[in-house]
Structure 1
Amino acid sequence: MENMSNGLSHLFMTVFLHCFSAFMVIPAITDITMSALCPGKDECSIAIYLTGIQQAIIGLGSLIIMPVLGNLSDTYGRKVMLMVPLTLSIFPLVILAYSRTKYFFYAYYILRTLVAMVCEGNVHCLALAYVADVVPESHRASVFGVLSGIASSAFVCGNLSTRFLSTASTFQVAAAVAVIALVYTRMFLPEPLIKEQISTKGTDTICLLEKAPNKKFQLFKTSPSFNDVLCLLSNSSTFLHAAIVSFFVNVAQVGLESSLLYFLKAQFHFNKDQFADLLIISGIAGSISQLLLMPILVPALGEEKLLSVGLFFNCVHMLLYSIAWSSWVPYASALISVMSIFAMPCLKSMASKQVGPNEQGKVQGCITGICSFASMVSPLIFSPLTALFLSEHAPFHFPGFGLACAAFALMVAFIESFMINSAIPVTDCSLNNSESAEP
C-alpha cells in the first residue's frame, strides 16, 4: 500500500509539472499567432484556419500514435513510454523562449505540430493506465478524478504564472519546467508492478492482443490492431456507448478550444492577461470539482449519473459562451465548469473496467484514439464556422454560432449517456492472438 501511494504521488507530480509547462503558454500563444499573421488586428481568419489545420493534423497523428504508445506501455513499461512525450515536448517551447518573431513562430508551428502528433494527450493517457495498474476498480473513478484535478491545478498555476510574466519569460519558464518534469520522472517515478490476471470472477478478458513474450522491441507485433477496437465496440455495450459519448464530448471540447479565444478577442478585445484570468477561473472551478466534489459524488451517485450531470452542465457552459452579450458573461460561464468536468474521468473509469490489468494501456489508448479522431474532425467543422461568423460575410449575425454548435454536440453526448448501464467486463471476445505470438 505504501509503495502504491508513493508511486501515485510521484505520478501526480509528473502530471502536474508537465501540465504546468503545457498550459502556461495557452494565454500567450493567441496573441503571438495574431501578431505574426495579422499585426494590429483583433480578427484574423488565417490564424483561425491555421490553428484548425494544426489541430486536425495533431488529431490524425494522435489517432495513430496514441494506441501504439498505450499498447507498448503494457509491454515495456509506463515509465519508459512516458519519457517519450516528456522529452519531445521541450523542443517547441525552446524556440519561442528564444524568439517570437514571424519566422520563429513558423518554426514553432511546424515543430509543435509534429511533436504534438506524438505527445498530445499521451502523458495523461499513460498516467491513466498507470493508475489502473495500481488502484482497485472500486476506487478507480475517484482517483481518475483526482488525476484530472491535478491537471486542473496545474492549469490554474500555469495561467496564474502567465498573468504576472512577460511573454518572453512565459516561454522560458515553460521550457525550464518541461525539463524539470523529464528529470523528475526519470529519477523518482517507479515502474508499477502488474500482476498477471488470467481471469476475473470466472470470465476471461481476452479481447486485446496478448502481452509480448519478451522485451525485444517489436513495434508492429505490439501495435493494437483495428480488430482490438472493433472487438471492444461489438462485445461491450458499455465501451460502445462510452466511445460515442467520448467522440461527441471531444468534438465539442476541441471546437471550444479552437474558437473561444479568437471569439473573445474579436468580440471583447481580450488580450493575454484577460485570457489568463478566464482560464484561471475555469481551472480553479475544475480543481474544486475533481479534487473535492468528485470523490464525494462518485460513491453517492455512481459514475453513470455523474457522467450525465457533467455533460448537462458542460452543455450549458458552452451555450453561455456562445450568446455572451457582455465581457463579464464568459467569466460567469467559466464558473459553471465546477459541475461540468466530471465526464471524462467517469468515461475513462468505465472503459478501464472492460479489460484486465495487463491491458490497461491498450484500452486507454483505444478510447483516447477515438477522442483523437474527434480532435481531427472537430477543427474541420468549427474553424470555418468561427472564421465565417466572425467575418463581415456572415449569413446572419451570430458571432458565437460555432460555440452554439459545440453545445449541440454536447447535447447529443448527454442524450447518449443515458444508454450507458453498469460497467460489465468483456466476457467472450477472442481475437486471433496466435498471429501476434512468437512462432
Structure 2
Amino acid sequence: MPETNTTSWGLSHLFLTVFLFNFSHFMVIPAITDVSMAALCPGEDECSFAIYLTGVQQAITGIGNLLMMPLIGNLSDQYGRKLLLTCPMTLAILPIVILAYSREEGFFYAYFVLKTLTSMLCEGSVIFLALAYVADNVAEERRASAFGILSGISSCSFVTGNLLTRFLPSVASVFQVSAATAMVSVVYMRIFLPESNMTAAVIAVAPEKETTDECLLDNRRVSRAVPSLRDSFSLLKSSWTFSQAAIVAFFNMLGELGLMSALLYYLKAEFHFDKDQFADLMIIHGIAGIISQLILMPVLTRVINEVHLLAIGLAFSCIYIFLYSVAWSSWVVYLASTLQILSVFAGPSLRSIVSKQVGPTEQGKAQGCITGLCSFAGIISPLIFSPLTALFLSDHAPFHFPGFSLMCAAFTVMIAFIQSIMIKAPISNSKTDEYDPLQNPSYPCQP
C-alpha cells in the first residue's frame, strides 16, 4: 500500500519506540555476566552452574514463546499492534528494577525467576510486532529495505546502549538507567505511536459483498479464535517458500542461540574479558549492523533480492562464529566481530521473504509463527550447547578445545545456509487479486 505522510510519521514513532526499548535492554547485556558470576560463583572465572542456569532459563523461555508468540501475533491481527505491544514492553521492566535495587544473591534469584516468567511473553514479541507494523504500512517492493532499517535502528540502540554501559561508573547505575529508559519507552509508545494501517488492509482485501456476508462473518469469527498448533502447521504448509524459510529460521536461530549462550562465558574463561571488554565487542557488532542495515542493505536490495542477501548473511555468520571458536588471541575475536557487517543481512531478508508469503491480514500471525519456531530452537539449544560449553571449559574436557561448542554452532548455521540457497526468489502472495478471503478463505465456511 502506498505510504502517506501520516504513515511515515507513524513509522518514525515506531522506530524511536524500538530504539528506546532495545536501548534499555541491550545496555544490561555486558553487565549481566559479571552479576551472574558474582552472585553464583564469586571470585571465579569459570562457573558451570551459571552456564546451566542460563540454559534452563533459555529453555523455559523457549517453551513459553513457542506457545505465546503465535497467539500474540494472531491477537495483534485482530486488535491492533499498539495494544499488543503494551503488555510485553511493560512486563519487561520488572526484572530490571530488581537488579537496579540490589545484585545480592537473593535478589539475583528473584530477578532470575521473574525474568524467566516475563521472557515467556516478552522475549521476541516486541520486534516481531514491530515487523508486522512495518509490513502493514510499507509497500512490498520497499519492505526488505524497511525491515533492514528497523534492524539497523536496533543496531543503533545496541551500540549506544553498550557505549553508555562502557562509561557508567558502576553496575548499579547500568540497571537504574536501563529501568528508567524502559519506562520512558512505554510511555512514549502509548502517547505518540498511532495504530497501524492494518484495518485499511483488511477492507482493501476483503470488501463487503451482500451475497457472501454470512460466510465472511463466519470466517472472521473463526479467525478471532485462539490459534491452535494445527493453524501454525497449516501456515507452514501454505507455501513451499514459507516452509523453507521456516527451516532456515530454525537452524539459524539454533546456531545463534548456541553462540549467545556460550560466547561470553568462553571469552571470560579464555581471555578474562570483563564488563568493559564485553561492551567493546558488542559496540563493534552494533556498528557493523548500523553500516550494514542503514547504508548497505537499502542500496543492495535494489539490485539483489532477499534470497541472495539471506545466503550471503548466513555464509558470513558461519565464518565469524568459526573464527570465534578457534581464536588464539583476543584480537582474533575483535576481527571476527567486524565480519558481522555482512552477516546481519540474514534477519531482515528472512522476515521479508516470510512477509511476502501471506496476505496483509496475516502479517502478525506469520511473523509470530516464525518467532515461535525460533523459540522452539530456544528449547533445544540449551540442551545441546550448555552441557558442551560447560564440559569444554572445564578441566574434564575429553580434549582441549574450549571453543568446541562455538564450532558446533557454526555448523548448525551452515545447515541454514545450505537450505537458504535452495529457496527461489519470493513470490508475492498478498496482492488483492491473489489473496481474497471471499474467494479463497483461510478458514472455509463449514456447512
Both proteins in one fold, TM over 0.5? yes
Contact kept in structure 1, 2:75 and 2:224, CA below 8 Å: no
CA distance in 2, matches of 1:221, 1:71: 8
Which residue does the alignment assign to 2:114? 111
Which residue does the alignment assign to 1:172? 176
Structure 2 gaps, min length 5: 208-216
The one-letter amino acid paired with 1:370 is L
Does residue 410 of structure 1 match 2:413?
yes
Q: Once the 2 structures are TM-superposed, how far is the Cα of residue 376 of structure 1 from its aligned partner?
A: 1.4
Does residue 102 of structure 1 match 2:105?
yes
Contact kept in structure 1, 2:305 and 2:425, CA below 8 Å: no
Which residue does the alignment assign to 1:203? none
Which residue does the alignment assign to 1:162? 165
Residues 343-377 of structure 1: per-residue CA shift (max 9 Å, x gap)? 11111111111111111111110111111111111
Which residue does the alignment assign to 1:373? 376
Does residue 28 of structure 1 match 2:51?
no
Q: Once the 2 structures are TM-superposed, how far is the Cα of residue 65 of structure 1 from its aligned partner?
A: 0.8
The one-letter amino acid paired with 2:185 is A
Aligned pairs (5 A) from 1:38-437: 38-165=41-168, 166-194=170-198, 195=200, 196=202, 197-198=204-205, 212=220, 221-425=224-428, 432-434=443-445
Q: Once the 2 structures are TM-superposed, how far is the Cα of residue 221 of structure 1 from its aligned partner?
A: 4.7
Q: Once the 2 structures are TM-superposed, how far is the Cα of residue 310 of structure 1 from its aligned partner?
A: 0.5
Q: Once the 2 structures are TM-superposed, how far is the Cα of residue 198 of structure 1 from its aligned partner?
A: 3.1
Q: Once the 2 structures are TM-superposed, how far is the Cα of residue 424 of structure 1 from its aligned partner?
A: 2.5
CA distance in 2, matches of 1:89, 1:68: 18
Structure 1 gaps, min length 5: 201-208
The one-letter amino acid paired with 1:45 is S
CA distance in 2, matches of 1:354, 1:265: 43
CA distance in 2, matches of 1:71, 1:432: 14
Which residue does the alignment assign to 1:206? none
2:7 to 4, 9, 12: 4
Residues 236-262 of structure 1: per-residue CA shift (max 9 Å, x gap)? 111011000000110011111100000
CA distance in 2, matches of 1:73, 1:199: 18
Cα–Cα, structure 1 residues 210 and 239, in superposed 2: closer, same or farther, change >3 Å?
Answer: farther
Cα–Cα, structure 1 residues 118 and 423, in superposed 2: closer, same or farther, change >3 Å?
Answer: same
Q: Once the 2 structures are TM-superposed, how far is the Cα of residue 222 of structure 1 from its aligned partner?
A: 3.0
Q: Once the 2 structures are TM-superposed, how far is the Cα of residue 318 of structure 1 from its aligned partner?
A: 0.3
Q: Once the 2 structures are TM-superposed, how far is the Cα of residue 315 of structure 1 from its aligned partner?
A: 0.4
Contact kept in structure 2, 1:313 and 1:340, CA below 8 Å: yes
Cα–Cα, structure 1 residues 417 and 318, in superposed 2: closer, same or farther, change >3 Å?
Answer: same
Contact kept in structure 2, 1:70 and 1:365, CA below 8 Å: yes
Q: Once the 2 structures are TM-superposed, how far is the Cα of residue 432 of structure 1 from its aligned partner?
A: 4.1
Q: Counterpart of 1:299 in 2: which secondary structure?
A: coil
Q: Once the 2 structures are TM-superposed, how far is the Cα of residue 224 of structure 1 from its aligned partner?
A: 2.1
Q: Counterpart of 1:300 in 2: which secondary structure?
A: coil
Q: Once the 2 structures are TM-superposed, how far is the Cα of residue 227 of structure 1 from its aligned partner?
A: 2.4
Q: Once the 2 structures are TM-superposed, how far is the Cα of residue 101 of structure 1 from its aligned partner?
A: 0.4
Deviates more, 1:385-394 or 1:354-363: 354-363
Could you tell me the TM-score, scaled by structure 1's length? Answer: 0.93
Residues 111-137 of structure 1: per-residue CA shift (max 9 Å, x gap)? 000001100010001000000000001
Could you tell me the TM-score, scaled by structure 2's length? Answer: 0.91
Deviates more, 1:107-116 or 1:353-362: 353-362
Cα–Cα, structure 1 residues 141 and 98, in superposed 2: closer, same or farther, change >3 Å?
Answer: same
Cα–Cα, structure 1 residues 173 and 243, in superposed 2: closer, same or farther, change >3 Å?
Answer: same
Residues 153-175 of structure 1: per-residue CA shift (max 9 Å, x gap)? 10001100100111000000000
Residues 281-324 of structure 1: per-residue CA shift (max 9 Å, x gap)? 11110111011111011121111111111110010010000001
Give the % identical residues: 60
Q: Counterpart of 1:144 in 2: which secondary structure?
A: helix
Q: Once the 2 structures are TM-superposed, how far is the Cα of residue 423 of structure 1 from its aligned partner?
A: 1.6
Contact kept in structure 1, 2:65 and 2:123, CA below 8 Å: yes
CA distance in 2, matches of 1:395, 1:413: 28
CA distance in 1, matches of 2:79, 2:220: 9
Q: Once the 2 structures are TM-superposed, how far is the Cα of residue 430 of structure 1 from its aligned partner?
A: 5.8
* C-alpha RMSD of matched pairs (Å): 1.9
Q: Once the 2 structures are TM-superposed, how far is the Cα of residue 212 of structure 1 from its aligned partner?
A: 4.2
Q: Counterpart of 2:237 in 1: which secondary structure?
A: helix
The one-letter amino acid paired with 1:190 is P
CA distance in 1, matches of 2:293, 2:219: 33
CA distance in 1, matches of 2:219, 2:113: 36
The one-letter amino acid paired with 2:241 is T
Q: Counterpart of 2:397 in 1: which secondary structure?
A: coil
Contact kept in structure 1, 2:219 and 2:443, CA below 8 Å: no
Cα–Cα, structure 1 residues 224 and 310, in superposed 2: closer, same or farther, change >3 Å?
Answer: same
CA distance in 2, matches of 1:14, 1:210: 36
CA distance in 2, matches of 1:330, 1:163: 18
Residues 379-398 of structure 1: per-residue CA shift (max 9 Å, x gap)? 11100000000001101110
Contact kept in structure 2, 1:160 and 1:280, CA below 8 Å: yes
Cα–Cα, structure 1 residues 199 and 432, in superposed 2: closer, same or farther, change >3 Å?
Answer: closer
Q: Counterpart of 1:192 in 2: which secondary structure?
A: coil
Q: Once the 2 structures are TM-superposed, how far is the Cα of residue 232 of structure 1 from its aligned partner?
A: 2.8
The one-letter amino acid paired with 1:389 is F
The one-letter amino acid paired with 2:182 is A
